[in-house]
Amino acid sequence: MKKRITFLTLILCTLLFSCNDKTEEKPLTSLSDSSLVNTKHLDHLYVPVTFSNGKKAAGIYIYAEAPDYHLVTDSDEGFTCVDDVARAALVYLRNKNFIADTAKQNKVFKLIDFNNTFYKIHCRRTNKSRNKFVCRVIV
């Protein structure tokens, strides 16, 4: 109980001291103009994958070596990871042609399927009382 009170006090103090009325809020950046973003290299890193349960999805290669940008797998990290896949989906979503480009839409759905399927297959609840997860990062 004492640890819980200390933790809540710490959170409350952090909130009180971090909230300052004198700071100016920065305006949100408009995402409508993405004309400077070229997705050609990202398209090259995009790779279809099939999970052990048969689910088809897509990942994004972590590494590609110059000068020909051939795709590279790392022995420690594998070839793709959930955070890069999520960022790639955001790049496609923010592209100015996304609404009309069904190829980009399909890529986004496959990338999202990757993260959803990854967590369903590779994460398991380890301590129900604390709601912790342990994930094995092997794809």
Q: Side chain identity at 120, as an amino acid letter?
A: K
Mean pLDDT, rounded, of the chain:
75
pTM: 0.64
Sequence spans of domains, the chain: 36-135
Q: How confident is the model at residue 4 (pLDDT cuts 50, 70, 90)?
A: low
